[in-house]
């Protein structure tokens, strides 16, 4: 591939927004038929770079060459005409339109220039979906009725509906289960075999190892390394390039058996929701971390939300310190000392218009008030203490929550429950959307909280995360616990086998 001129060359691209220099000299070289991985922490400039590529942002300076010709990507349409398609992480689909309508949105097959040929669009969309390995998605269905993974496929079909020579994929695997990830990789393989270039962004290093050809690392708006071989560059090097510091231990060590002597804080007895998960029994002690491993749809998130009272169980009960909770009541759970860091941070946990302090104190407001009257100084001080304890950066309770990175936003959610003085923390995908450098720090925080006396119930689709953090692991498959074991007795392979094959233990 190196013999031919590169398909895309970007030279010294800079882009400033008021107050921020988002890109400060980025070089990128992508060849036809390669999978070029883009790595970098949040805020390193990946999103801005993608937007420049998609024609959504115009760079302040720098050159872009396309197949040897200098070009200016002045608008999304200009980029599309060249054959650049972008699949954004936040899916940009219209829920109220059908699959086919979404695929051809703005590009509908028409008669006489304006009469939409619905039938032809559906047939073409069907062919695209088939090529993507998902013939079961009906082109006439509303996108809003599809699962996140299926929506991802529709996004991809939309990208492929144009004559495409370069596809940008922004964390395409984030919402996918392992078998769907395999399908994604198959599609990527087919595309590159056809000579299409793929710019692939992911936080999962193992994916990059599997499908990537070369890697460009961004840090603070600059490309700090370009064209590294994806399969042979040591992880340690990549992480230190991204973070600018060396990473010793991703998961902090922990001695076994620390929890055995402590009191049980949570007892779950025969908890059931029909069609979601089978009767579940579980005991959790202070200082202990229990992980739930399972695929999307295995009931793992549903269990957390039912324990928390956000869903009403069909049978069974939840006891905290031996006292049963009123079923289906979040308030009862919170009062008993349970806190939840939900999977969809923005949609379910954060008040995006509020400050950091306002987000931290929202569960404890009555503590700083007399007869409804807020003592704002006390509130701010408490929030400040909590975020400092979790080494939030910046540890400023007045900062707007929008300006924080994913990892720091997650810390704000944890600070909320820390302030509340909760005994049991339920974590649903705590590192979703958090970059590698910040993950290590978040792991350390979670571990420290457990060491200091909290019980943690953790759900994650990333098996290494469950194994690294949890003392004990429950493997779920189709709503049932198929295996329970101390984390140190399991490895990633074994867990994946159990998750997929299911080998019920008595």
Partner 1 sequence: MTQPASAARKDAPTSAATPDTGRKGTRRPALVRWDVRSLSLLGVLVALVVVGGVTQPDSFLATSNLQLVLTQASVIGVVTVGMTFVITSGGIDLSVGAIVALASVWATTVATQEFGFAGILFTAVLVGVGCGLVNGLLIAYGGMVPFIATLAMLASARGLALQITDGRTQMVTVTEVLDLGVKDAYVLGVPPLVLVFAAVTVVGWLLLNRTTFGRRTVAVGGNAEAARLAGIDVRRQRLYLYLLSGLCCGIAAFLLIVLAGSGQNTNGNLYELDAIAAAIIGGTLLSGGRGTIVGSVLGVLIFTTITNIFALNNLETAVQQIAKGAIIVAAVLVQRRTLRGGDA
Contact call for residues 297 and 316 (beta carbons, < 8 A)? no
Q: Which is nearer to partner 1, 183 or 348 (CB)?
A: 348
Q: Which is nearer to partner 1, 288 or 465 (CB)?
A: 465
| Residues listed for the chain | 506
Which residues lie closer than 8 Å to 136 by C-beta, 6 or more apart? none
Query: From the list 433, 455, 460, 477, which residue makes contact with partner 1 (rule: CB under 8 A)?
Result: 433
* Nearest by Cα to 464 from 440, 480, 437, 448: 440
Alpha helical stretches, state H, 314-363: 330-336, 356-361
Q: Does 378 bind partner 1 (CB under 8 A)?
A: no
List the x/- string, 209-238, binding to partner 1 by CB under 8 A.
-----------xx-----------------
Q: Which is nearer to partner 1, 377 or 493 (CB)?
A: 377
Output the DSSP codes for 413-471: HHHHHHHHT-SEEEEESTTTT--HHHHHHHHHHHHHHHHTT-EEEEEES-HHHHHHH-S
Query: From the list 186, 312, 331, 488, which residue makes contact with partner 1 (rule: CB under 8 A)?
Result: 331
# residues near partner 1 by CB under 8 A: 69
Query: From the list 33, 56, 204, 494, which residue makes contact with partner 1 (rule: CB under 8 A)?
Result: 56
Burial class (CB in 10 A: 0-12, 13-18, 19+), 224: middle
Q: Does 340 bind partner 1 (CB under 8 A)?
A: yes
269-328: contacts with partner 1 (CB under 8 A) = 308, 310
Sign, CA torsion 176/181/184/185 = positive
At closest approach, how far in Å is the CB of 300 from partner 1? 17
Contact call for residues 68 and 106 (beta carbons, < 8 A)? no
Which residues lie closer than 8 Å to 267 by C-beta, 6 or more apart? 282, 283, 284, 318, 319, 322
Q: Which is nearer to partner 1, 126 or 172 (CB)?
A: 172
Q: Does 97 bind partner 1 (CB under 8 A)?
A: no
Burial class (CB in 10 A: 0-12, 13-18, 19+), 48: buried
Distance CA 252, CA 421 (A): 24
Q: Does 400 bind partner 1 (CB under 8 A)?
A: yes
- Mapping DSSP to helix (H, G, I), strand (E, B) and coil, where does residue 269 land? strand
Structure-block tokens of residue 342:
């939900």
Query: From the list 1, 4, 5, 20, which residue makes contact with partner 1 (rule: CB under 8 A)?
Result: 20
Sole window of 431-439, 444-452, 469-477, 483-491 interacting with partner 1 (rule: CB under 8 A): 431-439
Sole window of 112-120, 176-184, 312-320, 394-402 interacting with partner 1 (rule: CB under 8 A): 394-402
Structure-block tokens of residue 391:
């080494």
Distance CA 286, CA 264 (A): 6
Query: From the list 31, 36, 46, 165, which residue makes contact with partner 1 (rule: CB under 8 A)?
Result: 46
Q: Which is nearer to partner 1, 350 or 474 (CB)?
A: 350
Q: Does 354 bind partner 1 (CB under 8 A)?
A: yes
Sole window of 118-126, 258-266, 295-303, 372-380 interacting with partner 1 (rule: CB under 8 A): 372-380
Q: Does 75 bind partner 1 (CB under 8 A)?
A: no
180-199: contacts with partner 1 (CB under 8 A) = none
Burial class (CB in 10 A: 0-12, 13-18, 19+), 329: middle
Rule CB under 8 A: which residues touch partner 1?
Answer: 15, 17-22, 41-43, 45-48, 51, 56, 89-90, 170-171, 220-221, 308, 310, 330-331, 333-335, 340, 342, 347-355, 358, 361-363, 365-366, 369, 372-374, 376, 388, 393-396, 398-400, 402-406, 408, 416, 432-433, 438
């Amino acid at each position: 591939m190196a013999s031919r001129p590169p398909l895309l060359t970007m030279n010294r691209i800079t882009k400033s927004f008021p107050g921020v220099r988002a890109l400060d000299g980025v070089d990128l070289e992508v060849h036809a038929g390669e999978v070029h991985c883009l790595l970098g922490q949040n805020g390193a400039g990946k999103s801005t770079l993608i937007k420049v590529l998609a024609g959504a942002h115009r760079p302040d300076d720098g050159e872009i060459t396309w197949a040897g010709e200098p070009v200016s990507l002045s608008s999304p349409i200009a980029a599309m005409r060249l054959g650049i398609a972008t699949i954004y992480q936040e899916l940009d689909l219209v829920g109220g339109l059908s699959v086919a309508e979404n695929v051809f949105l703005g590009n509908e097959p028409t008669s006489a220039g304006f009469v939409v040929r619905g039938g032809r669009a559906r047939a073409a969309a069907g062919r695209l979906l088939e090529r993507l390995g998902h013939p079961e998605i009906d082109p006439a269905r509303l996108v809003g009725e599809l699962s996140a993974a299926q929506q991802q496929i529709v996004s991809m079909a939309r990208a492929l509906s144009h004559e495409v020579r370069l596809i940008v994929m922004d964390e395409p695997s984030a919402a996918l289960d392992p078998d769907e990830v395999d399908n994604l990789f198959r599609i990527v393989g087919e595309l590159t075999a056809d000579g299409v270039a793929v710019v692939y962004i992911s936080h999962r290093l193992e994916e990059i190892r599997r499908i990537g050809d070369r890697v460009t690392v961004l840090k603070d708006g600059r490309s700090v390394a370009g064209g590294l071989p994806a399969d042979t560059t040591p992880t340690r090097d990549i992480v230190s390039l991204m973070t600018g510091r060396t990473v010793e231990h991703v998961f902090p060590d922990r001695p076994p058996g620390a929890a055995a002597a402590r009191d049980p804080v949570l007892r779950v007895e025969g908890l059931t929701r029909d069609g979601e998960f089978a009767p579940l029994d579980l005991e959790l002690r202070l200082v202990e971390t229990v992980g739930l491993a399972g695929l999307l749809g295995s009931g793992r998130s549903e269990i957390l939300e039912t324990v928390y009272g956000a869903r009403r169980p069909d049978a069974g009960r939840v006891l905290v310190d031996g006292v049963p909770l009123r079923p289906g009541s979040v308030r009862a759970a919170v009062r008993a000392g349970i806190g939840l860091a939900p999977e969809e941070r923005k949609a379910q946990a954060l008040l995006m218009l509020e400050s950091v302090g306002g987000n931290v104190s929202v569960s404890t407001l009555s503590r700083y008030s007399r007869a409804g009257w807020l003592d704002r100084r006390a509130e701010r001080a408490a929030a400040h203490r909590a975020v400092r304890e979790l080494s939030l950066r910046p540890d400023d309770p007045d900062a707007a929550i929008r300006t924080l990175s994913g990892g720091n936003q997650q810390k704000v959610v944890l600070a909320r429950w820390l302030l509340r003085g909760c005994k049991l923390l339920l974590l649903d995908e705590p590192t979703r959307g958090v970059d590698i450098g910040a993950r290590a720090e978040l792991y350390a925080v979670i571990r420290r909280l457990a060491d200091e006396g909290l019980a943690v119930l953790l759900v994650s689709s990333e098996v290494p995360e469950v194994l690294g953090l949890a003392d004990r692991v429950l493997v779920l498959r189709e709503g049932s616990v198929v295996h329970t074991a101390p984390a140190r007795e399991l490895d990633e392979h074994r867990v994946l086998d159990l998750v997929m094959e299911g080998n019920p233990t008595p």
